[in-house]
Amino acid sequence: MFLGFLIFGLFILGLNLLADFYYFWKNNFRTKLNKIIIEKQKSTLTSLSIKDIVNLCSKYKDQKIRSVYSIDFVRSFRSSFYV
């Protein structure tokens, strides 16, 4: 199994490497290349909201909650800060 993985894995790695080189050089030297522009957005994060997040985390710590589902934390964060 290891020998098969080694042979086929190296072969697939080589093919992917060649494809990556091809697409890199093709896109690197094409004409009419537009730069990717990321528009800046005004941050809604303030020092007060950071303090609220710290307070929420310390509340979890005081209640000896060691883990929280990230989706629950994100939902409470969104509802509190209108994000």
Consecutive 10-residue averages of pLDDT for the chain (83 residues): 88 94 84 72 80 84 83 78 66
How far is it, in rounded angstroms, from Cα 5 to Cα 1?
Answer: 6
| Prediction pTM value | 0.40
Shared-domain flag, residues 28 and 57? no
Task: Take residue 14 and report the two structure tokens written for it.
Answer: 């080589």
Range of the domain at 57: 42-83
Quote the pLDDT of residue 83.
Answer: 63
Quote the pLDDT of residue 70.
Answer: 80
Quote the pLDDT of residue 82.
Answer: 67
Shared-domain flag, residues 80 and 62? yes
Packing angle between helix 70-81 and helix 47-62, nearest 10 degrees? Answer: 140
Quote the pLDDT of residue 67.
Answer: 80
Between the CA atoms of 8, 23, 37 and 83, what dihedral angle is there, to the nearest 10 degrees?
-20
Asked whether residue 70 is domain-assigned, the answer is: yes
Asked whether residue 1 is domain-assigned, the answer is: yes
How far is it, in rounded angstroms, from Cα 72 to Cα 79?
Answer: 11
Shared-domain flag, residues 49 and 24? no
Quote the pLDDT of residue 1.
Answer: 85
Asked whether residue 37 is domain-assigned, the answer is: no
Asked whether residue 68 is domain-assigned, the answer is: yes
Are 53 and 78 within 8 A, CB to CB?
A: no
Tally of structural domains, the chain: 2
